[in-house]
Amino acid sequence: MSKETMAFPGSGSKNDGMTLRDYLAAKAMASLLVDVTKAVEIAKKMEVPFDVYVSRTAYDIAATMLKVRARNS
């Protein structure tokens, strides 16, 4: 498993700090929650719990952003 890029490194312990993937997912999640009503509708249509829809989608967006970043590097 490759080491993930850290967005905000911590003090040096193994799971300390925030990865770039986590950071991008948090930003994506914020944008998904701008229209909560729409997000709830989509989750219902997909027949998944709201929190699962938002978190999966946020991490999917983050993964896509990292793939594009890697291709353009």
50 belongs to a structural domain: yes
In a domain, 45, yes or no: yes
Q: Which domain holds residue 67?
A: 18-71
Residue 47 lies in a domain: yes
Domain for residue 43, yes or no?
A: yes
Q: What is the pLDDT of residues 13-66, one digit of tens each?
A: 666 678 899 999 999 999 999 999 999 999 999 999 999 999 999 999 999 999
Please identify which residue in the block is written with the tokens 């993930």: 4
pTM, two decimals, is 0.81
- In the chain, the largest separation of any two C-alpha atoms, in whole Å, equals 43
Domains contained in the chain, number: 1
Separation CA 10–CA 27 (nearest Å): 19
